[in-house]
């Protein structure tokens, strides 16, 4: 390729879009590295503390789209204190100073403030797309700045964020000239919504494809919105309570029939079940259905809806659907690729809503299934072996048995063999979550067979350090390892320090690692940030030998090229 001019090579590179591929290209030779870095428009940063904005901009000056992830995954389950970090402001400030032509910003688990949103909205003339997932720290005032100042806004996608709703008029802040919206998702907002402003905005957005409403948008407003936007592809319904004979309901039914492009349905945050039937006419087109927040809807109504959804590829549902319901899914949804079954009863009332039978039925009925997240009360090795045989194509397999340490409920054995069968059969497995009673044996299997595994979540599992060592030694492609409440300690942690250079991060909480073990690790690996999160005031981590044997409550370590971060709160000790 040396005899092609740079422009030609660059043109070829335009067709290479995945981050992995572009990273690979840049390693071929110096000239390719140079061409690649000037032509890279989309950058993905999996850990915002692994690099800093200055270095990012030095390497990729033509950046247009940036994806940043902040807190570790277990922050989703309240294991990471709010003030831990992941602040986006320094990034936006640096990007603004550099005058880079930013068009898209995607953030996950970061702390976003109104100030950062305001700065973002004013600094980038061509800014088009803001996607915030599981972020916090901002209010609807920040949204108002985005609405008011981003002239070419295409996407405003707020997924499951903690947003302080000031009940302001952020929706009215979109100027009348704003007609470019393609995605508008504010389902996570808890407050009142200006329905008039919303309807006018939707009416003047002919390109609107994805609209997800919050619970403050009632049924009659939904009907009017759907009349304004029959081109909608992805709809998130807000409140859905009404009388089925009312005029609004009939209007809604008529409007829904016209939405022939509708492929994805979600929301139903407060739903009266008998109204689901209004959607039956378009169900045969649906490829994605998310009813995981529809806690009011009884299984029988869910089943009635799903029976119409023959083209479904993605289904997120609550376990109130039951094993019987999953059997209906298995016989109806032959195109199903991704299934998530969430728990509907947190207090473990003993109701066996879904069991291993539902999982087996799905594996038998849905040949294209490659991703599953399944919360259940019980499991057996036999079922997992059958699932592995039926579905050798799993990419993501996450099983959560609600009661920790629960064995095979028929044989009382650990579930080592079942999970072993999964990793042995599923050669493309990239993500795995374990649960139930598990010994070191399951980790032996994982280390031996899970060659493509990139992310592993372990809770209440294993017996000795050997377990963790099997994984660290065996899984060559491991990127993210997160462990809680398992008996792994310093021996496993320190066995092969260079391994952590090949991984994005390691999380260990309520394990057996000690302070002195973590200190030794930090000494051996200066290119790692070893963070100890210690919220307990009484438990001051002291220097002297005795306390060195003190167990560390939460350990989070990650590779970085920019050293210790300066924004850590007092309860985070970076060794």
Partner 1 sequence: MEVSNSCSSFSSSSVDSTKPSPSESSVNLSLSLTFPSTSPQREARQDWPPIKSRLRDTLKGRRLLRRGDDTSLFVKVYMEGVPIGRKLDLCAFSGYESLLENLSHMFDTSIICGNRDRKHHVLTYEDKDGDWMMVGDIPWDMFLETVRRLKITRPERY
- By the criterion CB under 8 A, which residues form the site for partner 1? 76-79, 134, 160, 162, 188, 241, 243, 269, 272-274, 292-293, 295-296, 298, 320, 322, 342-349, 351, 375, 400, 402-407, 412-414, 437, 439, 441, 457, 459-460, 463-465, 485-487, 489, 510, 512
* Residue whose C-alpha is closest to residue 246's, from 276, 283, 219: 219
* Residue whose C-alpha is closest to residue 331's, from 306, 352, 299, 356: 306
Tally Cβ neighbours within 10 Å of residue 377.
21
Strands 104-108 and 136-139: unpaired
> Which single residue is written with the structure tokens 């049924």?
219
* Residue whose C-alpha is closest to residue 293's, from 405, 214, 180, 177: 214
Minimal distance, residue 38 CB to partner 1, in Å: 39
Q: Which two tokens stand for residue 295?
A: 């806690």
Choice between 91 and 375, CB closer to partner 1? 375
Choice between 35 and 158, CB closer to partner 1? 158
Choice between 143 and 492, CB closer to partner 1? 492
Choice between 337 and 457, CB closer to partner 1? 457
Minimal distance, residue 315 CB to partner 1, in Å: 16
Minimal distance, residue 345 CB to partner 1, in Å: 7
Give the integer Cα–Cα distance in Å for 483 and 554: 10
Phi and psi angles of residue 344, each rounded to the nearest 5 degrees, phi first: -110, -5
Minimal distance, residue 312 CB to partner 1, in Å: 21
What are the helix (H) ranges across 439-560?
Answer: 440-449, 465-474, 490-494, 515-524, 545-548
Answer for the pair 167, 192: CB distance below 8 angstroms, yes or no. Answer: yes
Minimal distance, residue 349 CB to partner 1, in Å: 7
Minimal distance, residue 486 CB to partner 1, in Å: 8
Minimal distance, residue 77 CB to partner 1, in Å: 5
Choice between 5 and 350, CB closer to partner 1? 350
> C-alpha angle 556/558/563, rounded to 5°?
115
Choice between 207 and 351, CB closer to partner 1? 351
> C-alpha angle 186/67/238, rounded to 5°?
15
Choice between 58 and 298, CB closer to partner 1? 298
Minimal distance, residue 269 CB to partner 1, in Å: 8
Give the integer Cα–Cα distance in Å for 166 and 92: 24
Give the integer Cα–Cα distance in Å for 73 and 53: 22
Choice between 118 and 408, CB closer to partner 1? 408
> Which single residue is written with the structure tokens 């919220």?
535
Give the integer Cα–Cα distance in Å for 333 and 310: 5
């Amino acid at each position: 390729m040396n005899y092609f001019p740079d422009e030609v090579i660059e043109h070829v590179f335009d067709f290479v879009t995945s981050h992995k591929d572009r990273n690979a290209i840049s390693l071929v030779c110096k000239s390719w590295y140079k061409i690649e870095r000037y032509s890279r428009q989309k950058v993905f940063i999996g850990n915002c503390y692994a690099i800093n904005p200055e270095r990012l901009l030095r390497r990729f000056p033509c950046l247009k789209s940036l994806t940043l992830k902040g807190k570790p995954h277990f922050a989703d389950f309240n294991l990471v204190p709010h003030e831990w970090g992941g602040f986006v402001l320094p990034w936006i400030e640096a990007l603004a100073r550099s005058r880079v032509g930013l068009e898209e910003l995607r953030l996950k688990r970061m702390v976003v403030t109104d100030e950062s949103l305001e700065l973002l909205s004013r600094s980038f003339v061509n800014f088009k797309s803001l996607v915030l997932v599981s972020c916090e720290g901002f209010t609807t005032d920040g949204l108002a700045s985005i609405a008011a100042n981003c002239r070419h806004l295409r996407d405003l996608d707020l997924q499951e964020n903690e947003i302080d709703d000031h009940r302001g008029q952020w929706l009215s802040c979109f100027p009348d000239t704003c007609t470019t919206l393609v995605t508008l998702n504010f389902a996570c907002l808890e407050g009142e919504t200006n329905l008039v402003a919303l309807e006018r905005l939707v009416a003047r957005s002919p390109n609107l494809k994805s609209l997800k409403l919050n619970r403050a948008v009632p049924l009659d407003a939904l009907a009017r919105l759907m009349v304004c936007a029959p081109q909608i592809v992805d709809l998130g319904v807000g409140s859905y309570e009404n009388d089925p004979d009312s005029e609004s309901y009939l209007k809604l039914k008529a409007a829904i029939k016209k939405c022939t492009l509708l492929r994805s349905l979600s929301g139903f945050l407060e739903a009266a079940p008998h109204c689901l039937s209004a959607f039956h006419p378009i169900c045969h087109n649906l490829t994605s259905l998310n009813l995981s927040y529809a806690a009011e809807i009884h299984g029988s109504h869910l089943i009635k809806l799903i029976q119409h959804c023959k083209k479904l590829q993605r289904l997120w549902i609550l376990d109130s659907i039951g094993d019987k319901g999953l059997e209906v899914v298995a016989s109806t949804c032959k195109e199903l690729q991704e299934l998530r079954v969430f728990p509907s009863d947190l207090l473990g009332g003993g109701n066996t809503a879904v069991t291993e039978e539902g999982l087996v039925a799905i594996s038998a009925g849905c040949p294209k299934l490659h991703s599953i997240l399944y919360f259940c009360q019980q499991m057996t090795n036999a079922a997992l072996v059958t699932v592995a045989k039926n579905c050798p194509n799993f990419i993501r397999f996450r099983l959560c048995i609600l009661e920790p340490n629960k064995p095979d409920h028929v044989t009382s054995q650990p579930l080592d063999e079942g999970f072993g069968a999964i990793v042995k059969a599923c050669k493309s497995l990239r993500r795995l979550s374990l649960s139930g009673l598990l010994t070191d044996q399951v980790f032996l299997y994982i280390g031996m067979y899970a060659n493509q595994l990139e992310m592993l979540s372990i809770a209440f599992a294993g017996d000795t350090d050997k377990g963790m060592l099997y994984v660290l030694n065996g899984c060559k492609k491991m990127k993210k390892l997160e462990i809680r409440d398992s008996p792994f300690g310093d021996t496993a942690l320190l066995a092969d320090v260079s391994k952590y250079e090949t991984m994005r991060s390691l999380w260990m909480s309520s394990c057996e690692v000690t302070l002195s073990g973590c200190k030794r690790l930090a000494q051996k690996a200066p290119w790692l940030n070893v963070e100890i999160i210690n919220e307990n005031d009484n438990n001051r981590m002291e220097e002297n030998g005795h306390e060195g044997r003190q167990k560390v409550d939460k350990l989070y370590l990650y590779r970085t090229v920019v050293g210790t971060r300066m924004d850590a709160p007092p309860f985070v000790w970076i060794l």
